[in-house]
Structure 1
C-alpha cells in the first residue's frame, strides 16, 4: 500500500509562476510591483506566494537571477565568445536593439530598470552590483586587448566599458518608451562607430 502524502500538492507550476514574476518585475520594476500584483499575476494566494518564494524580495532576487540566464546573457556571451574587446563591444551594441524589443516580451531590460524608483537600498545595491559586474567583465577584456596591442595606447578600459553600459541603458530606456527597433539600431550604429 502506498504511503499517503501530507498536505495538498502545489496547484501551480513553480517555473511558470517564476517566469510570470520575471515579466511583471521587468514591466513594472521592483518598487511598483506589489505583493497583490504578484499574487494576481501568478494566480496564487499571498500565503502560497510566501511559501513558494519567500516573499516579494526573495522572489525578485530569484527573478533577476533567472532573467539573466533566460532572457539576458548576451553581454556575457559576447565577452566570452569574441576574440577581442572591440568585437565584443560591437556585438553587444549591435544585439541590444533586438534584445530590447523582442515580440511577446516586455521592452527594455530588467537588469537596467528593475530598481528604478526603488526606495529599498538593498534592492538598488544588488542591481547596481550586477550592472557593475558586467561593466567590470568588459573592462577586463579591454585591459587584455591593451596588453596585446589590439587597442590604441591610452584607451581607457573603465571609460570605454562605462560608455558601452551607458549606451545600453539609453537603448533600454528608449525601447521602454516605445522606440522602434530600427531607431535603436541607428543609435547603436552611431555608438559602434565611436569605438576605437
Structure 2
C-alpha cells in the first residue's frame, strides 16, 4: 500500500499569530513569555518565528501596536455616527465588548496591561499608548467642539470636560474588566453613563454631511 501523502502544512495567518502571541504576553508578561511558549501557541518553529517577526521583542512590539490600533478603530467607527449621543454610546458599548472578550483569554485592555507590566526595550509602551490615546481624545474633542458650534450640544456644556469624562469612563471600563467585571455589569455602567450626557437641544436635528462631489 502506498504511503499516505503528508498533509499540507497549515497556512500561516499573521493576524491570528499576533492574536495568540498577544494573549500569551497578556497572561505572562514579556519576560514570562518564552520563545518555546510562542512557537507552541503559533504552531511554528523558532526559525519561522524569527523569520516572520524578528526577535521576541519585535513580536511583542507588533502585538502591542496591533491591539492599540484595534482600540483606536473603535473611535473611527464611533466618530462616524451622526450625533454626539450616538458617538459616545457606540464608543462606550463597543469598548465594553472589546474589553470583555474573556472567551478569547484576555479581559481588559492589553495596552493598559502592558503599560503596567514588564516590557521590552524595543518599544516605549507607555509613551506609545499615551500618544495614541491623546490622539483619540483629541479627535473626540474636535467632534464635540463641532457639536457645540452647531448647537447640537447645550451652550452650558464644557467640551473639554465632557471629553475628559468620556475618556475617564473608557479607562475605568477597561480597568474594571481586568478586575473581573462582567460584560453585563459594564454594559449597565455604560448605559447609565449615557443618561448623564446632556441631551440634544429640543428642536435640533443632527447636521447631515454634504454628499461627496460626483455622488
Could you say whether these structures have the same fold, taking a TM-score greater than 0.5 normalized by the shorter chain as the test? yes
CA distance in 1, matches of 2:176, 2:100: 10
Shift of 1:88: 0.3
Counterparts of 1:141-180 in structure 2, within 5 Å, are 141-180=143-182
User: How far is 1:162 from its partner?
Assistant: 2.2
Once the two structures are TM-superposed, the CA of residue 24 in structure 1 deviates from its matched residue by 2.5
Q: Is the contact between residue 25 and residue 33 of structure 1 (CA under 8 Å) also seen in structure 2?
A: yes
1:142 to 1:70, Cα distance in 2 relative to 1, 3 A: closer
For the Cα contact (< 8 Å) 1:29–1:115, is it kept in 2?
no
Number of the residue aligned with 1:90:
89
Give secondary structure in 2 for the equivalent of 1:114.
helix
2:21 paired with 1:21: yes
Residues 125/136 of structure 1: CA separation in 2 closer, same or farther (3 Å cut): same
Q: Distance in 2 between matches of 1:124 and 1:37?
A: 25
Tell me, in whole angstroms, the C-alpha distance in 2 between the residues paired with 1:138 and 1:29. 31
Q: TM-score if structure 1 supplies the norm length?
A: 0.77
* TM-score w.r.t. length of structure 2: 0.71
Match in the other structure for 2:51: 51
SS where residue 100 of structure 2 aligns? Answer: coil
| Residues 31 and 117, structure 1, Cα contact 8 Å, conserved in 2 | no
Asked whether 1:122 is paired with 2:121, we answer: no
Instruction: Work out the number of aligned pairs and report it.
Output: 186
Larger radius of gyration: 2
Q: 138, 141, 157: which is aligned to 1:139? A: 141
Aligned alpha-carbon RMSD (Å): 2.9
Q: Distance in 1 between matches of 2:133 and 2:72?
A: 12
SS at match of 1:191: helix
Corresponding residue for residue 189 of structure 1: 191
Contact 1:139–1:161 at 8 Å: present in 2 too? Answer: yes
Change (3 A) 1:187 1:31: farther
Unaligned runs of 5+ in 2: 1-8, 199-215
Structure 1 stretch 32-41 or stretch 161-170: which is displaced more? 32-41
Match of 1:104 in 2: 103
Distance 2:75 2:32 in 1: 27
How far, CA to CA, are the matches of 1:129 and 1:49 in structure 2? 29
Q: Residues 112 and 131 of structure 1 are in contact (CA less than 8 Å); yes or no, is this contact kept in structure 2?
A: no
Unaligned runs of 5+ in 1: 1-9
